[in-house]
Homo-oligomer: A and B are copies of this chain.
Amino acid sequence: MRVLFHSWFCPFSRKIRIMLAEKGLECELRVEKTWERRTEFLMMNPAGTVPLLLEEDGTIVADSYAIAEYLEEVYPEVPLMGPTPVNRAEVRRLLTWFDVKFNREVTQHLVSEKVMKRFLGMGQPDSSAIRAAAHNIRAHLDYIGYLADRREWLAGKNFSVADIAAAAHLSVADYLGGVPWEVNDTAKTWYMRVKSRPSMRPVLKDFVAGLRPPKHYAQLDF
């Protein structure tokens, strides 16, 4: 069977898991502790990052950008990148928005301070980084609200990887108690719509021992 090497609080892994589910592609999940820099894993991906997709025929696809484009090319039956080049450009612009900008300004702060430091025993969380994330996410929620107010889905008429990437980052931040949903109702309503998709269910069921998400985390109506 197809295998996806992933990590629990990695928004890029979540993005690919949701994408695989949307496309109806089964896959076995294997947790990769990337910080251990396992030789066998580095041989498959010298960058040492998850997600990494291993197809049944042995094809290895590393890096979430490469995997997303690969899945769209090889399994186009359920399209998730948009119907035209211009629409796909908008999907990809938003992918960078969430995977680079949101990640740098929000997700990375929360994950490194609240998860990595704790599990790797790297000392107390840096409260200034957590405060920066809390500040930055407000503008992002407003931007999501702005887009969702004007379009059916974030990148246009169709549900796309842009919605998936945004939901992946938000689900990680939300697990860690970092999303002030009251900031923007339209953003919250959009997220409720994404949450209610069957592809989101397995992701929202992830539960890491010793780290409890807030009560509303997996609730569709919150």
Interface string of A68-112 (1 = CB under 8 A from B): 011001100000000001101110110111000100000000000
**Residues on B with beta carbons closer than 8 Å to the beta carbon of A29:** none
The residues of B that contact A63 with a CB separation of less than 8 Å are 92-93, 96-97
Distance of A155 Cα from B59 Cα, bound (Å): 15
What B residues does A143 contact at CB under 8 A? 46
Closest Cβ of chain B: how far from A80's Cβ, in Å? 14
Our pick among B47, B73, B93 for the contact of A66 (Cβ within 8 Å) is B93
Bound form: Cα–Cα A65–B92 in Å? 7
Which residues does chain B contribute within 8 Å of A172, judged by CB atoms?
none
The count of chain A contact residues (Cβ–Cβ below 8 Å) is 26
- Whether A95 lies near B46 (C-beta < 8 A) is no
Asked if A165 CB lies within 8 Å of chain B CBs, one says no
A69 to B143, CA, bound (A): 24
A97 surroundings in chain B (CB, below 8 A): 47, 63
User: In the complex, are the beta carbons of A66 and B86 less than 8 A apart?
Assistant: no
Nearest residue, chain B, Cβ from A86: B59
Q: Which of A150-164 contact B (CB under 8 A)?
A: none
Q: Please report A residues at the B interface, Cβ cutoff 8 Å.
A: 45-47, 59, 61-63, 65-67, 69-70, 73-74, 85-86, 88-90, 92-93, 95-97, 101, 143
Give 4 A-B pairs besides A59-B86, A65-B96 with Cβ atoms closer than 8 angstroms. A45-B93, A63-B93, A63-B96, A73-B88
